[in-house]
Structure 1
Amino acid sequence: MTTIKDRQFKPEKLFQPRDFVQPILSDSQYLEIGAGKGMHAMQFAEQNPSKHLIAIERTRGKYDVFAERSKTLGLRNLTAIHADAIPWVVHALPPQSLDGIFLLYPNPEPKNSSQRWLNMPFFEFLLSRMKPEATIILATNIKDYADEAEQLAKEQWQLPVKRLQVATDSARTHFEVKYLARGEVCHQLELTKPKGYQTAFDRWQQGNAQA
């Protein structure tokens, strides 16, 4: 039976994103993928001044709104990035550099489940960029998506998982506000990278041969 890892992620094949700038990373570094218009990113930065968040958004229109709002707020611990997250992560982040990752209401990819985050070979690379005991917060309003992600986290990736229902007054993203206002249940998974966890990319860094 073919597993996710058998599909093999090849970071050396990915080119730098356009206008790529190597980021200066913090000792307390977080990443948000799919930041939208930046609602959660700005909340997080305001509430956690000692932590730095890099928030990536691929869609130009959403990114422009986010960048303008974050500039107005003058949050020095928030960096807005317009890029495709996968090549950006490959070129920007060294191993074990992240304290946490946010995947809030990602595209459920109904026509191509292999493109869901935990169903992608890239997910192993993403785990290699996390420090031991760092966490991934994944939120979705789709129960089947949450069920699948929880199963993959436990069985494919051997990660401890904490699952909870998002509070009805939570307002981290525009999607979350909309879903909760409609009375939908929103699910949250907290995935933790254990101490001693190993991936195929633990020593892989851009510009060096993979060990």
Structure 2
Amino acid sequence: MERKSPSGAPWRNFYGRVRGKGLRDSQKSYLKDLEEIGLERVDWEDNPDRAMLDLAAIFGNRPVWLEVGFGGGEHMVHQAVANPGVGIIGAEPYINGVAMLLGKIRRAGALNIRVHPGDARDLMDVLPDGSIEKAFLLYPDPWPKKKHHRRRFVTPEHLQPLHRVLAPGAEFRIATDIPDYVRQALEEVPKAGFEWLAERAEDWRTPWSDWISTRYEQKALREGRVPHYLTFRRV
């Protein structure tokens, strides 16, 4: 028998952080913005039949991008401002990061972002097939211990639903400073139906032309770690 959570959803272990240090009053005020830009019908309690999100109702005819684990949100806001003709959805369970993102959205006036403050797997459950034109996985939790590698995003549990929601030919970008994460990504992502687009070493050593260095990348550089930029295409 399939194990269920109290809400009736399939039981999914979640190992990342959900909350960190206490939020400042200003950050608490930002969370009120979720009433307008938070995605509805993602949580099982509100959507027991798992009705798909109507992305056309949310973004009109814009292409839609997805960022999994947006951290403090600087990359997502940068992309939203640079690409006003695109709708961007971000999934992030860490509420402190969500509050930081909402503050950046307010200051930048980025109206083409919607937020799922929870597990990306729940979000992908309600995204229609082939509805996402581009996806980002930037400096994900490395889970460095070998026994924890199955918790990484680059596993079938995450990659198979990602493949389903991406449109044929869609781009999937991964940035990481962890060599073993690169190894696992290059093993698992192609098996899930993606093609690695690198032809030479510079293709994964050089950031994308529209890249903005995040605080996680700056920390990696300060500590002497080398960023890797992997680009895949959904086939």
TM-score normalized by the length of structure 2: 0.69
Match of 2:16 in 1: none
Match of 1:105 in 2: 139
Report the alpha carbon displacement of residue 72 of structure 1 after superposing the two structures with TM. 2.7
Q: Which has the higher helix share?
A: 2
Match of 2:157 in 1: 121
- Report how many aligned residue pairs link the two structures: 181
Matches within 5 A, 1:135-150: 135-150=171-186
Conserved 8 A contact 1:159-1:193: yes
CA distance in 2, matches of 1:165, 1:64: 32
Unaligned stretches of 5+ residues in structure 1: 1-11, 195-211
Conserved 8 A contact 1:165-1:187: yes
Are positions 1:80 and 2:115 aligned together? yes
Amino acid at match of 1:104: L
Alignment partner for residue 71 of structure 1, among 81, 89, 106?
106
1:161-194 residue CA offsets vs partner (Å, 9 max, x unmatched): 0341144x96432101222244421011111112
Matches within 5 A, 1:1-80: 13=10, 16-17=42-43, 22=53, 24-25=58-59, 26-80=61-115
RMSD: 2.6
Amino acid at match of 2:180: D
Unaligned stretches of 5+ residues in structure 2: 1-8, 12-40, 48-52, 199-203
Return 113-122 or 38-47, whichever deviates more: 113-122
CA distance in 2, matches of 1:19, 1:74: 31
| Structure number with higher relative contact order (C-alpha < 8 Å, ≥ 6 residues apart) | 1
Match of 2:19 in 1: none
Percent of pairs identical after alignment? 25
Conserved 8 A contact 2:62-2:85: no
3-state DSSP of counterpart to 2:154: helix
TM-score normalized by the length of structure 1: 0.76
Matches within 5 A, 1:162-173: 162-163=197-198, 164-167=204-207, 171-173=212-214
